[in-house]
Amino acid sequence: MAKIKKSSSAQASLKMGLSDERIPKLFGILLILVAVYLGVAFFSYLFTWKVDQDRVLRFSWKLLLNDGPTVDNWLGRLGAFLSNFWMYFLFGVPSFGVVYLLWRAGLNFLRRQPISKLINPFVTVMLAMMGGAVLLEFLFGSFTNFPLGGAVGAYLVSHLTRVLGAFGVILLLLTLVAIYLVFEVRIDFNGTPEQIKNDVINHFSGRFRGGKIGAPTKYGTGANNTSGSGGDGEVPALAPSFTDPEPATAPLRPSSAKAAILRPGGDDDFEIEGPATLGDQGIEQLAGKQMEMPMDAVGDLTLVGTDPLATGVDNLILADGDTGINTDLAVTAQNQNHTEPYDPTLDLPNFTPPHVGLLLERETGSAEVDRSELEANKDQIIETLLNYKIEITKIRATIGPTVTLYEIVPAPGVRISKIKNLEDDIALSLAALGIRIIAPIPGRGTIGIEVPNKNPQMVSMREVLESEKFQNAKMDLPLALGKTIKNEVLIADLAKMPHLLVAGATGQGKSVGINSIIMSLLYKKHPSQVKLVMIDPKKVELFPYAKLESHFLAFLPGQTEPITTETTKVIHVLNSLCIEMDQRYDLLKKASARNIKEYNEKFVARRLNPEKGHKFLPFIVLIIDEFADLIMTAGKEVEMPIARLAQLSRAVGIHLVIATQRPSVNIITGVIKANFPARIAYKVTAKVDSRTILDGGGADQLIGRGDMLLSNAGDIVRLQGAFVDTPEVEEVINFIGKQRGYVEPYLLPEYNTDEEMAGSGSLSYADLDDNFEDAARLIISQQHGSTSMIQRRLKLGYNRAGRIMDQMEQLGLVGPAQGSKPREVLVYDENELTRFIDDLRNRG
């Protein structure tokens, strides 16, 4: 690598032409210096204008000659002349916009970004300068002699006031601001004033952040931030939000009668933890230790991200050769020559992540908990346990969004196993739907009884996404799943799980849960950092996400629908993912990297050569909504690749989320279970189903509507899932879908079954690329078998055009490749092609 660099720079020094990267860099430095000069001169003008103005006006450019007068401007006569020119004759104070533009242009040249990137800021700043000049002149012009809005501002104001009247000018200015807010900032007027303010602040901070050298991006993959979101020392060994922090509330009244046996009716030693509205006399706000539910802490993968167009040799060919390609994307190719760290998000630099205003602010229900409800439940628990001769010394309540946890301390001598054995009887006696007994609560030595609240609260997706925990989560694949019994938002890192099995009876919240998982990723990650592979045999659950095809989705080449629904295609996708996994392992091996984190770090530092096939690797999340149908129809053909992926894909950043509403053993097989230590169970109808999912009961005692158990390697935590409705999901999808995506989506490797590879005979009509017919017609009409012609004329990527050419060869339309020469075309007449294709179609 070092060698290559050396020789190329030696060559460059022989001939310093326009292609020499040093020239734009020099030019960039020059522009920055000019910007600094003008900035200082303008600033000085604010103080020296009175003295200098007369002299400059009298002498004009002659001021620059030797015999002119002296001036006060800190940057001499040139400073006085230029600042007067801009401030007095042009835009007044908004002339500082020119300084910004020069600075920005300088950086652009330094970074060797395309000039087209400057068009937007140029137009915006020019308009802002004009608007600003009018505004300043209109509002304050009559109070000062200083040319606040310059001649431009003064002229426009006087002209506009004559045409529209003073009030008309005010309305015009307000209209301009409104147009800006609607088109550029995309304000959601449904939001609260606070959100609108945040949107505006985010908009502007985002804009200006884009102009700083090496500033970390909002996705944590800034050029300087090579270790990505989970750099060393940043990610705790345990997934942070899985371990609830110790709350700081102190007990108001210490428990006095520890040894006393509790009787129903009394409220001694009944301690309650929960919403503040419970601060009633006689009830305590308790500082209890919290349940610890550590996640699997093996390894710590770090996201750096990837860009599908950026680095593959194919894509570089595409970027160089195709004039139709968006110049912004061609940054990528230039990015290759840079010495600064690589930043994958720069390939879609203007991508704006969805804002929470797209989600509804829901009425989460009253936080008030009825004291009599608590007392009644406490009495019933004590009484029921006494019936079984179980005495307790202390009971404490923790009120969650939908259930209250009564934590009891048994009297000395009561064996926990006794309570465990009586679990079903106790539940029956308590006779409320959804009672779950946890005996003992791991690490606490106490027993938990969860009882549903009469007035459950909903947990909205918006509130969990807005929570500080989510906002600050430095995880590779953060999932905002819901709230724990302690009303705390729980964020889990899918990258550490490393796969997730989701199961529950129909109508209990699974689809909402899958949506909240996807939403979490869409809200937190840039399209260059994560790709979603979606499989939806039911065809109804995931289809709205198809609009994200050129942003977040990955699928097979030639696939018309980016979301896979047919079983045969699903098998292809799964096997293709296995190939992707193997290819990623090969890349890791070549790069001597142990996992995706190390690999991407090396890539960011430009220690891996893209010409040798190295590229940025995004995380890939495979989502299967309803894999029961697949297992039933394709059995091992589906189960085996899933198991293989689950066993091996973690190190290369491929993670699986598979869901089913049929939690039976023939669906969730031993092989699947063994490879999915992290599982989510929604309510199921029978205990046996709960055992199938969680290896234990509990899911049968849930209350539905998003009430769920999250289990990781045996540790179980009860959560109220975040709720997001389909229209909200669609809003978010539209928000992203409307933005510019990659020219070519992220394609998975092609997978051919053995028969398909055997020869032309097995290639069916369905296998043909969507552009096959057009490409074949082109080749035949031109009698010229060239891939690059297909690429150019049909505006296809190099890979895809190459694949179409292979299919033509398989079908005998063209001869084999002949090096750089075009292939021989074996069909001479388009009618013959029509017959051939009809034939193929009829064969199916």
Ligand X SMILES: Nc1ncnc2c1ncn2[C@@H]1O[C@H](COP(=O)(O)OP(=O)(O)OP(=O)(O)O)[C@@H](O)[C@H]1O
Question: Residues marked as binding for ATP?
Answer: 504-511
Question: What is the closest distance, in whole angstroms, from the C-beta atom of residue 707 to ligand X in the complex?
Answer: 8
Give CA–CA dist 67/274, Å, rounded. Answer: 82
Q: Which residue has the tokens 């009672």?
A: 435
Residues engaged in binding ligand X (CB under 6 A): 458, 504, 506-512, 661, 705-706, 721, 723
Give CA–CA dist 577/641, Å, rounded. Answer: 9
Question: What is the closest distance, in whole angstroms, from the C-beta atom of residue 505 to ligand X in the complex?
Answer: 7
Residue 658 β-bridge partners: 501, 624
Continuous segment of H or E residues that includes residue 131:
helix 119-140
Our CB check for ligand X shows the closer of 141 and 721 to be 721
Of 331, 322, 333, 337, which Cα lies nearest the Cα of 349? 331
Question: What is the closest distance, in whole angstroms, from the C-beta atom of residue 627 to ligand X in the complex?
Answer: 13
Q: Are 291 and 718 in contact (CB under 8 A)?
A: no
Question: What is the closest distance, in whole angstroms, from the C-beta atom of residue 500 to ligand X in the complex?
Answer: 15
Our CB check for ligand X shows the closer of 199 and 626 to be 626
Residues 6+ apart with CB under 8 A from 486: 244, 247, 273, 290, 398, 400
Our CB check for ligand X shows the closer of 509 and 822 to be 509
Our CB check for ligand X shows the closer of 227 and 711 to be 711
Tell me which residue has its CB nearest to ligand X. 706
Long-range contacts of 255-258 (CB under 8 A, 24+ apart): 255/394, 257/393, 258/393, 258/394
Q: Are 526 and 217 in contact (CB under 8 A)?
A: yes
Question: What is the closest distance, in whole angstroms, from the C-beta atom of residue 506 to ligand X in the complex?
Answer: 4
Across the chain, how many H-helices and E-strands are there? 27, 17
Of 753, 767, 777, which Cα lies nearest the Cα of 825? 777
Of 550, 580, 605, which Cα lies nearest the Cα of 733? 550
The SS3 call for residue 250 is: coil
Our CB check for ligand X shows the closer of 135 and 729 to be 729
Our CB check for ligand X shows the closer of 105 and 624 to be 624
User: Token pair of 720, please?
Assistant: 């109220």
Of 708, 244, 726, which Cα lies nearest the Cα of 482? 708
762-772: b (≥16 Cβ within 10 Å) or e: ebeeeebbebb
Our CB check for ligand X shows the closer of 287 and 458 to be 458
Continuous segment of H or E residues that includes residue 379:
helix 371-387
Q: C-alpha 301: how far from its chain's center?
A: 17
Question: What is the closest distance, in whole angstroms, from the C-beta atom of residue 618 to ligand X in the complex?
Answer: 28
Give CA–CA dist 427/76, Å, rounded. Answer: 88
Our CB check for ligand X shows the closer of 113 and 692 to be 692
Our CB check for ligand X shows the closer of 352 and 565 to be 565
The count of C-alpha atoms lying within 13 angstroms of the C-alpha of 335, restricted to the half-sphere facing its C-beta, is 31
Question: What is the closest distance, in whole angstroms, from the C-beta atom of residue 508 to ligand X in the complex?
Answer: 5
Question: What is the closest distance, in whole angstroms, from the C-beta atom of residue 699 to ligand X in the complex?
Answer: 12
Query: Residues within the annotated binding site?
Result: 504-511
Question: What is the closest distance, in whole angstroms, from the C-beta atom of residue 723 to ligand X in the complex?
Answer: 4
Exposure of 598 by Cβ count < 10 A (0-12 exposed, 13-18 middle, 19+ buried)? middle
